[in-house]
Amino acid sequence: MKFEKYHGIGNDYLVYDCQKNTEELDGEMIRRVCDRNFGVGSDGILAGPYIEDGEFAVRVFNPDGSEAKRAGNGIRIFAKYLKDAGYTLSERLNIRTKGGKVQVRFLNADGTRIQADMGKLSFSSKEAGLAGEPREALEEKMVFGQNSYDCSCVSMGNTHCVIPMMEISREKVCKIGAFSERSEYFEDRVNTQIMKVLDKNNIQIEIFERGVGYTLASGTSSCAAAGVAFRLGLADSDVMVHMPGGKLWIQIDEDWRVKMTGSVQSVCRIEMTEDFLRFEP
Ligand SMILES: N[C@H](CCC[C@H](N)C(=O)O)C(=O)O
């Protein structure tokens, strides 16, 4: 069983090439491989390329074994993998995900800088995975643990809960995320971002991901936070999103289509040992 490790501004993924591997990648194996002490360690696994109607498709798995509909850093990583592994020579390509199609464009020859057209943001509560009456969930009071927060929920193919705040930190988002991720406000869990607006063109976020926990960066979270900041009049449609791992440039057009631009890097190739594969708990 072989993987290739990449990261997008510190959000690390293992690519599992389903055309080259034969072993089954079940929930148990995903949890063990992603474990940072007992396995390789990663924020998730990108499995593919699957071919659907002549287009590439990818599946995104979280380290807890659950499947995600989308990953913004994951899409850029997978695009670079397709280039590195010789699956494509094109400058542009479409990649299908469970959360919709993404168009990616390589901005340089080695594929380390990529722009992705992520499709449309949606503020519909249904698409944002919220329980209850259909509505736009903007600045809704939600209680996580002992405290109440003003939350704006949005879908970027996957679901997000964005909380603007004056000061943000890793500790704060972990405290909130411990309750928000599995809160009953959401039908199938949620990704959480706390957001500090620096100025009209710069926002800063800390992230607690669904099925992952704290991460240094997240592409779809950046799109969601930028979308909420723009929608609430806190920022312009063109913003740099600053995260502990680095930054992503987000542009939103009049139809709420979102473009995300940022870097990716390959890290290493990994082959799991017989020992690891044989292991029985
Ligand atoms: N790191 C990812 C998000 C993974 C999504 C996942 N945590 C979920 O929706 O379950 C990104 O760059 O967008």
- Give per-residue pLDDT as tens, 143-173: 999 999 999 999 999 999 999 999 999 999 9
Whether 239 and 271 map to the same domain: the answer is no
Q: Does 33 reside within a domain? A: yes
Q: Does 125 reside within a domain? A: no
Whether 237 and 151 map to the same domain: the answer is yes
Q: Which atom of ligand 1 is nearest to the CA of 159?
A: 9
Residue 279: pLDDT band (50, 70, 90) is confident
Three-class secondary structure of residue 142 per DSSP: strand
For ligand 1, atom 2: residue with the closest CA: 71
> Could you give the CA distance from residue 111 to residue 114 in angstroms, rounded to a whole number?
7
**Average pLDDT estimate for 10-18:** 98
> Could you give the CA distance from residue 228 to residue 174 in angstroms, rounded to a whole number?
20
Whether 111 and 152 map to the same domain: the answer is no
Q: Does 131 reside within a domain? A: no
Is 209's C-beta closer than 6 angstroms to any atom of ligand 1?
Answer: yes
Q: Report yes or no: 52 and 61 within 8 Å, Cβ to Cβ.
A: no
Whether 19 and 54 map to the same domain: the answer is yes
Whether 147 and 103 map to the same domain: the answer is no
Where residue 186 sits, what CATH number does that domain have? 3.10.310.10
Whether 274 and 252 map to the same domain: the answer is no
Whether 113 and 145 map to the same domain: the answer is no
Whether 97 and 187 map to the same domain: the answer is no
Whether 49 and 110 map to the same domain: the answer is yes
Structure tokens at 146: 């002992």
> Could you give the CA distance from residue 159 to residue 152 in angstroms, rounded to a whole number?
11
> Could you give the CA distance from residue 104 to residue 101 in angstroms, rounded to a whole number?
10
Helix axes 219-231, 72-84, angle to 10 degrees: 140
> Could you give the CA distance from residue 194 to residue 91 in angstroms, rounded to a whole number?
35
Q: Residue 246: its pLDDT value, please?
A: 98
Q: Does 135 reside within a domain? A: no
Q: ∠ CA 251-106-211 to the nearest 5 degrees?
A: 65
Q: Does 54 reside within a domain? A: yes
Q: Which atom of ligand 1 is nearest to the CA of 74?
A: 12
Whether 156 and 242 map to the same domain: the answer is yes
For ligand 1, atom 3: residue with the closest CA: 71
Alpha carbon of 121 to ligand 1 centroid (Å): 15
> Could you give the CA distance from residue 195 to residue 237 in angstroms, rounded to a whole number?
16
Residue 104: pLDDT band (50, 70, 90) is very high
Complex ipTM over 0.90: yes
Residue 281: pLDDT band (50, 70, 90) is low
Antiparallel, parallel or unpaired: β 202-209 and 238-243: parallel
Three-class secondary structure of residue 212 per DSSP: coil
Q: Report yes or no: 152 and 231 within 8 Å, Cβ to Cβ.
A: yes
Which domain range does residue 62 map to? 2-119+264-278
> Could you give the CA distance from residue 6 to residue 269 in angstroms, rounded to a whole number?
9
Number of structural domains (the chain) is 2
Q: Does 132 reside within a domain? A: no
Q: Does 12 reside within a domain? A: yes
Alpha carbon of 68 to ligand 1 centroid (Å): 6
Is 68's C-beta closer than 6 angstroms to any atom of ligand 1?
Answer: yes
Q: Residue 139: its pLDDT value, please?
A: 98
Whether 172 and 232 map to the same domain: the answer is yes
> Could you give the CA distance from residue 143 to residue 161 in angstroms, rounded to a whole number?
12
Q: Residue 280: its pLDDT value, please?
A: 73
Alpha carbon of 28 to ligand 1 centroid (Å): 19
**Average pLDDT estimate for 260-275:** 97
Whether 272 and 242 map to the same domain: the answer is no
Alpha carbon of 265 to ligand 1 centroid (Å): 18
Place of tokens 């309750």: 179
Q: Residue 24: its pLDDT value, please?
A: 86
Q: Does 59 reside within a domain? A: yes
Percent of the chain with pLDDT strictly greater than 70 = 100
